[in-house]
Structure formats: C-alpha cells, structure tokens
Chains A and B, each alone.
Chain A
C-alpha cells in the first residue's frame, strides 16, 4: 500500500536519512524503532509530505506521491510528537476545526467528533480547554485530531512520551482497535519497546539514517538465536570482575544493571560454569543466576550498541 524506495534526505552536507526501503501492507501495524537522531522523524516527515526527499521515492498504491503529495494527505493521519493543538480552544473546538479543514462533510462532522472523542475516552471532557488537560489527555486529543478524516494510514510519532500509565494504556488500546477493528494501517514509532512488541506485526530498526534490520518479531529475535542472555548476581561486584567476565570466551556484551550483571554471549552451554569459575578465582560467589530469552530490546542493543532510550 505504502512504500519508500531508496529514500534519502540531506540537510546541507549531512545525510540524515540514507536510502531507506520500507513498505506497509494495508491493515498492517508496523513499528519504527531507533535511538534519538536515527532519522525516524525525518522519515515520517517525508512520508507525510512535510519534507521533500533529497532522492528516492514514496509510493502510495503504486503511484509516486513525491510530485503529487496531495493524494497522500487525504489518506494519512499524522500524530506528531508535539501536542499540535490550540491550547486556548476546547477539545471539541479543536476537533471541529481540524475536521473542517480536513473537509469532513458538515452532515457527518458532528458525529465524527463524537466518535473520535469516544475512541480516545474524552467525550465527557469535550467542552474543556486543552490547556486545562493533563499531558495524557492532551496526547489522546492529539491522536483524535489525526483521526477526524478517517485516515487509511495512521502515523504515530512517539505518541506516549511522558504520560501516565492510564493514558498510555488508553492510547495503545485505541491504536490496537483502529488497526484490528477498523483496518487502519499503522506506522508506530516509540521509545518503548514493549509498546512496539505489543502493537506491531513487523518492525524496522533504524540507526544513523539507515534501516539496519527489519522483519516480524520472530524474525528479528532469530538474529539473537545464536546468543544467550544470562543475568547473574554476585556476592560483591567490582570493575575488575566485570572486566574479567568481559574477557571470557564467547562473551559479546556485559553491562551492570540494577538486578546485577547482564551478560550476552554466544549460545554455549559452558558459559555459566565459566562465569562461576572466574568469580571463584576472585573470591566472589554467584548468589543468583537467570537464563533469559532474548527480547527485541536485546536485538536492538545487539544491532545498535545502545538502548532505545540512549
């Protein structure tokens, strides 16, 4: 339905997006992951026609929309990272304004406003000014405004940043409902891996302006099929023991966490005994250990060398 072909964007001499190939099938929910500065927002701006690509193409239903962007504006809804609403207007007035400029017909506008308010759970608060809303409520209206014209594709740019768990769950529910019940195609970027895992059928991972991995969750996890994650707790921790573990055969990554030491190594049955031996040599005991199944977070870390919130 929507695809980008070798999409690139330069700002002066800096290449911010570098030859991205992506596609979204109709009714699919796709995640776009990447650390800050990876080029996600620039990619979204190009897909939504706010930015002109330096090179490459964007196609909607097989037709290029770079030269004729008005077509894509009719079918996409964009939820920006910022609260793009009029603070001095009420929720209802904001939705009415955006409904009118999206050219929703007068006869259906009122119903549509009530529908989207119902969807985001703020029907009872529609007369209140946006500036009186909590951050979570503002984000819900931010989504509602993008839904006024019943978009076929919904692009959400980190829609849950800095909000309370209740609003976050409501937003995730809304997005899921739109995707599953209304058949809306979703492109979702987030810093929260669990949101992407929960909502998306497929994921693109971006870093330094490039897509470095893509596929379904299973496909991405298979990247780590040759790896093993072990979480250990020691009787005492020092930089020396961490360095010692890091130097063990097959160990790929070691980091200290709140729960102890997290070790990613090549899948090897002997890694645990190697850790125990190394610790004993230093007079330290392993008090607890846990073998973990790799998550998308691990995949991300493996691919980019950073966590999502870096």
Chain B
C-alpha cells in the first residue's frame, strides 16, 4: 500500500500545474471574493447611510402611571403586582430604543436626530431625511401591557419613508428585529423566573445572542471555497487513474498480484493527505492575509483542525468511489464529466458558491447531508459558539460517509479477468 501511496503522491507532486491550481487558486479566490463582498454579512461597507428622525410623541412617565393603575386594578396578589411593577421599572421601551439607535456600530450608517413631528415630516417630504420613526402616544403603556400582561397592543412604532429602498427596508427590518428581541429577552426572563436585567439588544443591525460571535464574510469564503476545492482534489486525483487506465499501467499493476484494496487505498490515503494539506495551507494563508483566526483560543483552533481532518477523510471516500467508476467506464471524458457535475451539484447545494439560507428548507437539509455542506455548516457554527459536543455528530457523519464510499468503491472495483 505504501508503494501506491508514494507513487500517487509523487505523480501529483510532479504535476506542478495541478499543484498550483489546487493550492493557490482557493486562496486567491477567497481573498478576491472577500474583498468583493466585504460588508455583505457584517456591515463593513459605508455604502448604506440613512438620515432618520426620531419623533417622540409618547410621554413615558404618563405611560408608567397608566400602567401602574392598570396593574393595581388586576385581580392578582399584591406580591405579583409588585413583581410586575418592578419589572416595568427596568423596562423603559423608549429609552431602550434610544440606546439601540445610539449604538456606535449602528451610528456608522444611521444618523438619528430627535425632532418634532411636523418638522420631521417636512424634512422627509423635502428629501432631507430618509425616514422618520414615530414613537406614538401611549407606546410605553402599550409595550408594557403587551410584554408584562400579555395584552394586545394597538400602538406600534411608525416608520415613515419618502421612498422605498433597500436602506429603508433595512431600517424596518432593524426596528422589527429590535422589538422581537426585546420580546424574546423578556419572555426568557419570564420563563426562567429570574429578575430581568437589561435586555441584550440587537447591535449594529445584527442579532447578538449570548456566547455567539457572528461569522464574517472572510470566514464564510474560507470555509466555502476551501471545502469546494478539497472536493476538486478528489476529482483531480481520480483523473490520474484515467491516465493509468488509458496507458495500461493499471493492467500492468493488476498483473503483479497486487490487491485492489492496496491500489484503492493508495488513492484514498493520498487524497486524504493532499486534501488535508490543501486545507491547512488555505486556512493558514487566509489567516495571514485576512486575519481570520486572530485572538482565537487553542481549543477553537483544535476544533477547526478536527473538522477539516474529518472532512479530508470524507473527501478521500469520494476518491474511493470515483476511482473504480473511472476504471469501469470506457470513456475517460465521461467519467471526468460525471465527477465534475457531481462536485458542482454538491458545491451548490452545500452552499459553497453562495449562502443557501434563502433557499427552501428542504434544499438546506439536503445540503447539510453533503460532506462539504455539513463541514461548512459545522465550521461556521464553530466560529459562532464553541461547544465541542456539537462537533461529534458531524464527525461521525463524515467518517461514516467515508466508510460507505469505501465499501461501495471496493464492491465496484473491477475484478481481474473482466477488464
């Protein structure tokens, strides 16, 4: 087996063009795509900028007083009343909204100014402002009774926009996200029965959950392009089998009494090794160029290392499957074409070409069953929160994929006497 492995590695190593493509192209693509799409995920662009007026029609203290009266009228125990009022004191909807919009990250693309209703409307009409957010009269009471008493609210934030645009849509989405998060945080506090501290509000247009770091475009492209090119490595090494078959080297090998398993394992181990090296080089180079692992813990890096090792094993499984198919098909172009289609389909549904969040749920599910899709999802989750137990199932699935491919590969391997 070692002889086959040495031979396969040497043959690949001597093909400098393939090496350059396998090692350099993913790095170049990651860097180029990252610069081209930077800000797409993490708001690093300054192309969006909104001038928004915040109109305060609500009197917060009146709202609190009205809420207090409402609570006292309720047919509940005094201690419950006190508890609700205590929570209400912590919850100041208009203040939280002000805090949200004064977040430094958000301020980069939304300028908020507090204005009177008439003035704000005039400025929006004239086009000097992009939108106005109106906190309507009774908003505080409405929010408090909705959140703490579970009553239906009839007061909502009003957003007035001069013209529909992506930016205005983003603003609506942000405000809606803010309210949802506020509700969610409060519901959590209710369920756990703990005293509610200051809610963890959306930041800079992105939702932040405790212990979860957002992934960046560089993270996405690194894992997406890295895993995609790893799939191509399986195809590239299988293409060498085409030459072995065409030039009858494979027949000569079969005449040496070598076991098909040894031949196949040579391909499998060399594919694993080359894929692993390719991914490591891609990650290291991307880190040096885009600083993707800066400040990460050794536990985090170990997790990445383990996932790409498991993924490299899965890619080796693909080589185990592709090799006997190549040997069985008489037309080398046909086998190359089939593998290319398979890889491209895996790449698309696995989310290697673009994020598949907007695709139907079933496609996302199928995508996560591809080794590349599963790996990418696992790595992106790993970037967001570190829970080693979350790695276990994907690793088992990736290794299982390898085992299944290897068994099918051995089953399909052409028998001597039938070549």
Neighbour of A78 across the interface among B255, B258, B416, B417, CB < 8 A: B255
CB distance from B258 to the nearest CB of A (A): 5
B10 touches A101 (CB 8 A): no
Neighbour of A89 across the interface among B14, B253, B257, B419, CB < 8 A: B14
A84 touches B11 (CB 8 A): no
Measured between beta carbons, the chain A residues less than 8 angstroms from B247 are 82-85, 87
B417 touches A49 (CB 8 A): yes
Contact size class for B? 20 to 34
Chain B 217-251 per-residue mask, 1 if CB under 8 angstroms from chain A, else 0 = 00000000000000000000000000100011101
CB distance from A67 to the nearest CB of B (A): 10
Measured between beta carbons, the chain B residues less than 8 angstroms from A52 are 417-418
Q: Once the chains are docked, how many angstroms separate the CA of A102 from the CA of B3?
A: 11
The yes or no answer to B196 lying at the interface (CB within 8 A) is no
Q: Once the chains are docked, how many angstroms separate the CA of A86 from the CA of B252?
A: 11
B419 touches A51 (CB 8 A): yes
Measured between beta carbons, the chain B residues less than 8 angstroms from A73 are 255-257
Neighbour of A86 across the interface among B249, B255, B258, CB < 8 A: B249
CB distance from B352 to the nearest CB of A (A): 30
Chain A 78-99 per-residue mask, 1 if CB under 8 angstroms from chain B, else 0 = 1010111111110001000110
B3 touches A74 (CB 8 A): no
Neighbour of B253 across the interface among A49, A101, A149, CB < 8 A: A101
Chain B 342-371 per-residue mask, 1 if CB under 8 angstroms from chain A, else 0 = 000000000000000000000000000000
The yes or no answer to B7 lying at the interface (CB within 8 A) is yes
Measured between beta carbons, the chain B residues less than 8 angstroms from A51 are 417-419
CB-CB under 8 A for A82 and B248, given A88-B14, A89-B7, A97-B7: yes
Closest residue of chain A to B4, judged by CB?
A101
CB distance from A159 to the nearest CB of B (A): 13
User: Which secondary structure dominates where chain B touches chain A?
Assistant: helix
B257 touches A70 (CB 8 A): yes
Measured between beta carbons, the chain A residues less than 8 angstroms from B258 are 101
Neighbour of A84 across the interface among B10, B248, B419, CB < 8 A: B248
Measured between beta carbons, the chain A residues less than 8 angstroms from B419 are 50-51
Measured between beta carbons, the chain A residues less than 8 angstroms from B249 are 84-86
**Inter-chain residue pair count (beta carbon < 8 A):** 73
Measured between beta carbons, the chain B residues less than 8 angstroms from A76 are 255
CB distance from B140 to the nearest CB of A (A): 77
Chain B 1-31 per-residue mask, 1 if CB under 8 angstroms from chain A, else 0 = 0011011001100110000000000000000
Neighbour of B248 across the interface among A80, A97, A103, CB < 8 A: A80
Neighbour of B14 across the interface among A85, A98, A129, A146, CB < 8 A: A129
CB distance from A50 to the nearest CB of B (A): 6
CB distance from A30 to the nearest CB of B (A): 19
The yes or no answer to B277 lying at the interface (CB within 8 A) is no
Q: Once the chains are docked, how many angstroms separate the CA of A103 from the CA of B6?
A: 15
CB-CB under 8 A for A50 and B11, given A69-B416, A82-B248: no
* Residues in chain A within 8 A of chain B (CB atoms): 48-52, 69-70, 73-74, 76, 78, 80, 82-89, 93, 97-98, 100-103, 129, 145-146, 149
> What are 24 sample pairs from A and B whose C-beta atoms fall under 8 A apart?
A48-B255, A50-B251, A50-B255, A51-B417, A51-B418, A73-B255, A73-B256, A73-B257, A80-B248, A80-B251, A84-B247, A84-B251, A84-B252, A86-B7, A89-B10, A93-B7, A97-B3, A97-B6, A98-B252, A101-B3, A102-B257, A129-B14, A145-B252, A149-B256
* Residues in chain B within 8 A of chain A (CB atoms): 3-4, 6-7, 10-11, 14-15, 243, 247-249, 251-258, 262, 416-419
